[in-house]
Amino acid sequence: MQPENKEARNTPKTRWWRIATITIISLLVIVVGLLTWLINDTDRTKKAVERLVSTLTDRPFHIYGEFDFTLGSEITVSASRIEWDNAAWSSQPTMLTVGKVQASINFQSILNPPFLITNVEASNVRLDFEWSPDNVSNWMLAKSDSPPKKEPQHPLPLLLDKADLKNVELHFKHPGLTEELIILVESAKQQQDENHNLVTAISAKFDGRKVDIQGHIGPFPELVIAGAVAFDFSATGANSSIRIKGDFDNLAELKDPDLEIEFKAPEIATVLDILNLPEVTHGKALLVGSLVSADEKFSGSLQGSIGEFNLDGAFEATSLQPLEHMSAHLNSQGPSARAAGNTVGIHGLPAEPYDLNIQLTDTEDGLAIEAASFKSSGAVITASGLIHEFPALANLDLDLQVNVENIANFDEILPGDDIPALPLSMQVSIRSNTEGDSDSLNIKGQLGQLDAQIDGLLTEDPGFIGSKFSFSAAVPDSKKLGATLGLPILKTVKMTLRGNAVITQRGIDLQTAGGVIGPHNYSVTGELPFNEKSPQLTFDATINGPDLADMVSIFAITDRVPAMAYKLGGKISFANNRLELRPISGKIGDNNVKVDGALVFGNPTPNIDLQITADGKNLGSVLQTQGIEGGPAEFYSVGGRLTLSDASIRISALDFRTSDDRLQGTITVGRQQNPGHINFDLSGSGADLQSLLPTIPGYTPAAVSFDMQATGEINDRQINISRLSARLGTAKLSLSGTLDLPPNLKATAVSFKASGPHLPDLGAATGFEPSDIAFDISATMGGTTNNIEMTDINITAGPSDMRGIFKLNMEDKPQIKLQLDSRVLNIQTLQKRFREQAEATAEDQPESTSKDRRLIPDAPIPVNFLNSFDATVKVHIDKLISQRLDLGQVSIDGTLLNGKLDIPNLSARTDKGSLQSEIHIHPDQGKTSVEVTVTAKNIVLVLGELDENMRKNHPGHDIDLHLTSRGDSYREMAAALNGYLWLRGGERQIKSADLGFLFGDFLSEVFSTINPITKKEPYQTLECDRVFFEIVDGVAQTSPAVFFRTDKLNMTAVGAVNLATEKIDFGIETSPRKGIGISAGDLLNPFIKISGTLANPRLALDPTGTLIEGGAAVATMGLTIVAKSMYKRWLGPRKPCEKLTEEAFNIRRKQDPNNVPSN
């Protein structure tokens, strides 16, 4: 016995084998142990199965009931209450539920498919089959990452030997169905017969209608090995039947098939209704098809009709895999191209009649398209050519002609959402290149007004990747194109486009593209992606032209677009109605602009979110483009974020600057649901408000520094000012509070203050320069709903002051209560400014173009507003200072009630006298009646400006006036005027020229011409003056006369004015007083006659006084006081004024004894 060789046993080779063996045995022990541990606990196995199925399918799988299994040559599994979750987008939570199931699976078939289920029993089963609008099935489970096997597979991956199914529901939801289709399988049984054929019997109901399915396939052993099998199945119902039978010599290779199919229905519309399919046709249905092989040739046919759809197709070939030496034809007509297209997976065709013809022949050079045509809904498509390397689409010789009356009829198969109603004509030619790999392409077409052409080379790569082409398009009339496309194109210009492009894996790469829009040039480069209904388009774009306003006016109204040369460019991206500018920048005139953001279309108003910056050297020129004059010609910059939606337009992060000024903040303006809703939060400051602000009609800002802050909200219900404070030079302003608008008017904590040492710091109204005085204005407002109260109005301006309260009740008819008190109110400056403005306005006023040349207008008196509210007014002024009148203790008490205005007290006192008056304006039987009464004693009333000498020495006037009238217009009111007017004055110094004040400048010029005293002595002593007028039915007549007595002259005027016709007739006599050294001869003419009209008075000389004697030809009112020089009886040398006054009393008493002035 040889000794053991230990070294031999321990060689490296034996050592590695030993390690491997030990490792394998250890792994087997572990696997067997794990399997033993797993199968001995059904609960663990159930959970493992749930996890495995859930992981493999990415859908939760649950076994809520019992679960058990047995192992052996057949694996038997039983379970209950099974639920398999559906896709997240599905309408049903589960896609499979099983009440109870038991199945036996041949173990060997698991290792060597097909899977053989020897027996299955199931009950209370529901399967849901659902498709999304994109035609994705809910049974599209997680895909395997393993590559497909290349060797031939069994055509049936699963075989069922014996089955017994009860109460199985099949639910189908598909976009093509009018509603959910439910098939109830009451029972389904399958078992082998004596010939080993699988015999199937199914009893089911479609929409409550019974259908029986019978058939067999086998023999079963051949079916297992995919050998020679035969089958015969039929489904029969009350409304249709279908039968499929045939055999294969070799099922695995689909060798020598002999197949027949027949479908019958007496009324196809009934079948479509049962299956919940659209009723696209009606009538009988008979469809017969076959596939046979003989003499190493295959031939097939499908002929018949389904209602109004006709089908006639046939083919022949020497081989099915692949197709060789094939010839085929297909003819089909029907009432709906949509329904026919859906059956072959072409969706979106119009539901209109169609006619389809195709004839193909396999030649030595390739597959020849002998003829092909399609007609439907005004479209005709014809094609012919040769596909040299069919089924690959390479080396093509193809001619295609497309004519479509209206492409909108095919909107569902075209990209985009709003397809316009346009005709299309297109010719496509593809020619193979025998010397290279690229085919030439030429397309010419016309789409509405658009002419286009494409030329290029098509590669033979999949998807024509690498193909290059050039393109061009032109539109001669952009406005007609816009009308056709429904686009807002407002002007007629020529549009062109030219460029070059390459097809890439992702899409079409626009390498160069550009053209013109009228006088404007543009260019774009970018990519058009494939395989997307609404692809994202990204371009680098530029555009330039001589006038931005003209460019924009092609597409929109351009009231505020600057008419400047421009050059803009940047990146543009468009997808799903979203246009992104990332960014667009350039120049508009001398201004730099930059826009970054997005616009989303699809609504009547696009949603806009843009960041905008701009700067330039001349702000004034930019403002001029917005119709704003007077802006400063200085550098500016502005930035902010603009957002626009149906809800609002918002400018946030606003930052506007000039060299010395700045404005910042946020503004939001509501739209559609909240029109007029404004939110603002602004602040600003600057060195010169006047130089910054543009021209504002009616207002001139002061040249002062400023700063301001404003925060608040305004809408159709409320004005809420959280804070408004401003400084204009030395002036300060503030406003805060909330004002609810009608119909629920309410003020809450409203406070206003304005103060400063210089009133001009607030600026000036045009033509009105404020005095440089200190001012202080404040008021608060509060109250309840529809009751507004301002209880502390305080106004101080220089020496003037005003305090008061204001109340407004809006519960029913508006009621106003106003009470004002003033210690001093100086209106001299206001009067002066108003007079200057009136004079300036009068100079610019054109001459009256009235046909009747009347002074009193024939315009209605605006009194309708008096019935729109009621009011009570009380005003008290301790001292009122004006240019012509000084008054003290001024009181005004008035009421407005139901359209009646009554001022029973308008009174005042002076150091020398008093004033008392009443005013009543009432509606009167559809017209307006007016009554005015004035009584004044020793009131200082002057024609010019009241000076200190007059205030001290003027004795004052007694004024008595009582007037009534009734009418609708000023002219009618004047023609109906009745009453009297008296003016009585005492001794005082006056200007000689003031003697003509009664008749205005016209007569003053006459006096200064004919009376030498007015030139030698500009001032005279007026001893007394009397003006007496009686007015009856619009005729005002001296009663008895108008008389002036100076220390040197007596002046007498008699006559009348007819206010209805405006005719005037006055005689004026001037006579020297005795003993003063003036004779009648010193006067150029003592007698003057004035006639004509108020608008056009005429002067006549009357040397003999005859015109004066005749006097007052306008009207006499029944009086004879001017006839035959009767008025001279009262104008003797002694106390003529007293005598004239006495006669006036006599006349007044005769006219109206109830209205006679006091002595």
The model's pLDDT over 450-507, given as tens digits with 9 standing for 90+, comes to 889 999 888 877 777 888 989 999 988 887 777 666 666 778 889 898 999 998 888 8
Q: Alpha-carbon distance 946 to 79, whole Å?
A: 118
Q: Alpha-carbon distance 17 to 10, whole Å?
A: 11
- Indicate if the pLDDT at residue 404 is higher than 70: yes
- Indicate if the pLDDT at residue 717 is higher than 90: no
Residues 6+ apart with CB under 8 A from 616: 589, 590, 591, 592, 622, 635, 636
Provide φ and ψ at 869, rounded to 5°: -160, 165
DSSP state of 131: B
Give mean pLDDT, residues 347-371.
87
- Indicate if the pLDDT at residue 21 is higher than 60: no
Provide φ and ψ at 17, rounded to 5°: -65, -40
What pLDDT sits at residue 192?
85
- pTM of the full predicted structure? 0.58
Are the C-beta atoms of 564 and 588 separated by less than 8 Å? yes
What pLDDT sits at residue 331?
92
Adjacent-strand bridge partners of 979: 963, 1031
Question: Could you report the per-residue pLDDT of 642-673, keeping only the tens digit for each?
Answer: 888 877 888 899 999 988 889 999 988 887 67
Q: Alpha-carbon distance 71 to 608, whole Å?
A: 68
Question: Could you report the per-residue pLDDT of 151-175, keeping only the tens digit for each?
Answer: 445 566 667 778 888 998 888 888 8
Q: Alpha-carbon distance 131 to 168, whole Å?
A: 20
Q: Alpha-carbon distance 1131 to 1054, whole Å?
A: 13
- Indicate if the pLDDT at residue 150 is higher than 50: no
Alpha-carbon distance values, 659 to 630, 640, 708, 904, 1141 (Å): 17, 18, 18, 60, 75
CA-wise closest residue to 893 among 909, 882, 881, 877: 877
Q: What angle do CA 828, 832, 833 make, to 5 degrees?
A: 120
Question: Could you report the per-residue pLDDT of 611-637, keeping only the tens digit for each?
Answer: 999 999 988 888 887 777 777 888 999
Q: Alpha-carbon distance 412 to 392, whole Å?
A: 28
Q: Alpha-carbon distance 188 to 183, whole Å?
A: 13
Between residues 1152 and 693, the one the model is more confident about: 1152
Are the C-beta atoms of 98 and 79 separated by less than 8 Å? yes
Adjacent-strand bridge partners of 362: 367
Give mean pLDDT, residues 318-326.
72
Alpha helices in 381-509 (DSSP H): 478-485
Alpha-carbon distance values, 465 to 530, 692, 708 (Å): 12, 61, 64
Least-confidence region, from 568-582, 898-912, 989-1003: 989-1003
Segment holding 169, helix H or strand E: strand 163-173
CA-wise closest residue to 656 among 680, 670, 639: 639
Pairing outcome for strands 718-728 and 662-670: unpaired
- Among residues of the chain, what percentage have pLDDT more than 90? 29
What pLDDT sits at residue 134?
74
Between residues 576 and 61, the one the model is more confident about: 61
**In the chain, what are the domain boundaries?**
493-598
Q: Alpha-carbon distance 1144 to 958, whole Å?
A: 14
- Indicate if the pLDDT at residue 931 is higher than 90: yes
Least-confidence region, from 114-118, 132-136, 414-418, 876-880: 414-418
Provide the 10 A C-beta neighbour count for residue 539: 17
- Indicate if the pLDDT at residue 188 is higher than 60: yes
- Among residues of the chain, what percentage have pLDDT more than 70? 82
- Indicate if the pLDDT at residue 733 is higher than 90: yes
Q: Alpha-carbon distance 372 to 356, whole Å?
A: 8
What pLDDT sits at residue 465?
86
Mean residue pLDDT of the chain comes to 81
Least-confidence region, from 331-340, 472-481, 1126-1135: 1126-1135
Are the C-beta atoms of 389 and 395 separated by less than 8 Å? yes
226 pLDDT tier (thresholds 50, 70, 90): confident
CA-wise closest residue to 981 among 1039, 927, 1067, 1044: 1039
What pLDDT sits at residue 145?
47
What pLDDT sits at residue 1114?
43
Are the C-beta atoms of 1130 and 1139 separated by less than 8 Å? yes
Q: Alpha-carbon distance 728 to 970, whole Å?
A: 45
What pLDDT sits at residue 484?
64
Q: Tokens for 900?
A: 């009646």
Question: Could you report the per-residue pLDDT of 756-812, keeping only the tens digit for each?
Answer: 999 999 998 877 788 899 999 999 999 999 999 998 999 999 999 999 999 999 888
What pLDDT sits at residue 775?
95
Q: Tokens for 438?
A: 């690229």
- Indicate if the pLDDT at residue 904 is higher than 60: yes
What pLDDT sits at residue 734?
95
Q: Which residue has the tokens 């139901």?
A: 898
412 pLDDT tier (thresholds 50, 70, 90): confident
User: Is the dihedral angle over the CA atoms 270, 275, 279, 283 positive or is it negative?
Assistant: negative
Between residues 55 and 794, the one the model is more confident about: 794
Q: What is the dihedral of CA 692, 696, 702, 707, to 10 degrees?
A: -50
What pLDDT sits at residue 560?
67
Give mean pLDDT, residues 20-25.
51
